[in-house]
């Protein structure tokens, strides 16, 4: 345990210098005693309030930033453009807190999952008090196979869970009925995205500039209106969920952020 924490501290010190506050075992222990979901703390979840939903999102440190890879299919473009760099994720204190949570998940998964269940119960109470419907996104900045590593989703069968994923195999295996997955396009998984669309799975795609009317031969819907992907319309061949580039994604040159060309660059229709 200590070796992993030391490794992470060394990496963070090289990135942030004297600004970095070393992560300790006490930091890890503190995670198991607090709320680990982000509730009404960012723009995407606040948009859901207008739809009548109170959303809790679990933000961890993506890819292998914590010393443990929790995004097994992350491409180079995805790593560089990750939403970890957008919004509050730009700040060191937020980055550090997310890394601490990720280490807590890795070092004692059972306790972390128990803490996460308590956080979901707290979210349910808050939603009820506000007259809202609770919803949970477990992979805010990760791609963990929650349907396999825990019984969290099954524990709350009446609660809506949803996520984005680049792990195409997840789309074609049984998952809990209260869990919605949207495939996420990168610069290197077009074939998987086309297969997902053919199976009726929506595909999230990040665009530079205005959203096109169509992409990959499918209609594009505006995914920035709300993050509640389980409310997106469904079609037999799947739809493209268009997202505008944010944070570091605005500077992407890998192909992760798509440039709509030709006939597909027509103005998107509502």
**Tokens found for residue 250:** 């605005």
Tell me the pLDDT band of 79, cut-offs 50, 70 and 90: low
Asked if residue 44 has pLDDT above 80, the reply is no
β 214-215/133-137 pair status:
unpaired
Asked if residue 81 has pLDDT above 80, the reply is no
**Tokens found for residue 51:** 């739809």
**More confident of the two residues 11 and 174:** 174
pLDDT at 90: 58
* 3-state secondary structure at position 60: coil
pLDDT digits (tens, 9 = 90+) for 149-180: 999 999 999 999 999 999 999 999 999 999 99
How many angstroms separate the CA atoms of 90 and 130, rounded?
30
Asked if residue 259 has pLDDT above 70, the reply is yes
Paired strand residues for 243: 206
**More confident of the two residues 4 and 251:** 4
Backbone angles phi, psi at 16, to 5 degrees: -115, -5
pLDDT digits (tens, 9 = 90+) for 103-133: 999 999 999 999 999 999 999 999 999 999 9
Q: What share of the chain is helix, strand, coil (3-state, %, to 5)?
A: 45, 15, 40
Place of tokens 């929506």: 202
pLDDT at 77: 64
Give percent of the chain above pLDDT 70.
Answer: 90
Chain-wide mean pLDDT for the chain?
A: 88
HSE-CB of 47 using CA atoms within 13 angstroms:
11
How many angstroms separate the CA atoms of 153 and 148, rounded?
10
**Tokens found for residue 72:** 């097994």
Asked if residue 266 has pLDDT above 90, the reply is no
pLDDT at 250: 79
Q: pTM for the complete prediction? A: 0.89
How many angstroms separate the CA atoms of 197 and 178, rounded?
21
């Amino acid at each position: 345990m200590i070796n992993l924490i030391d490794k992470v501290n060394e990496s963070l010190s090289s990135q942030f210098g004297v600004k970095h506050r070393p992560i300790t075992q006490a930091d890890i222990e503190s995670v198991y005693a607090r709320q680990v979901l982000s509730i009404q703390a960012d723009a995407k979840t606040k948009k859901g309030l207008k739809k009548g939903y109170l959303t809790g999102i679990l933000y961890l440190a993506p890819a292998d930033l914590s010393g443990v890879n929790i995004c097994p299919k992350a491409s180079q473009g995805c790593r560089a453009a990750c939403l970890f760099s957008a919004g509050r994720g730009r700040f060191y204190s937020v980055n550090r807190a997310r890394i601490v949570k990720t280490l807590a998940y890795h070092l004692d998964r059972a306790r972390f999952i128990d803490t996460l269940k308590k956080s979901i119960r707290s979210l349910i109470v808050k939603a009820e008090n506000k007259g809202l419907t609770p919803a949970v996104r477990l992979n805010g900045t990760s791609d963990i196979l929650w349907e396999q590593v825990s019984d969290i989703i099954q524990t709350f069968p009446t609660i809506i869970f949803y996520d984005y994923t680049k792990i195409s195999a997840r789309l074609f295996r049984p998952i809990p009925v209260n869990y919605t997955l949207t495939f996420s396009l990168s610069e290197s998984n077009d074939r998987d995205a086309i297969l997902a669309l053919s199976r009726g799975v929506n595909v999230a795609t990040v665009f530079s500039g205005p959203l096109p009317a169509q992409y990959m031969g499918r209609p594009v819907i505006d995914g920035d209106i709300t993050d509640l992907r389980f409310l997106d319309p469904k079609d037999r061949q799947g739809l493209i969920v268009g997202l505008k580039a944010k944070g570091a994604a605005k500077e992407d040159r890998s192909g992760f952020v798509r440039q709509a060309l030709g006939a597909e660059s027509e103005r998107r229709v509502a």
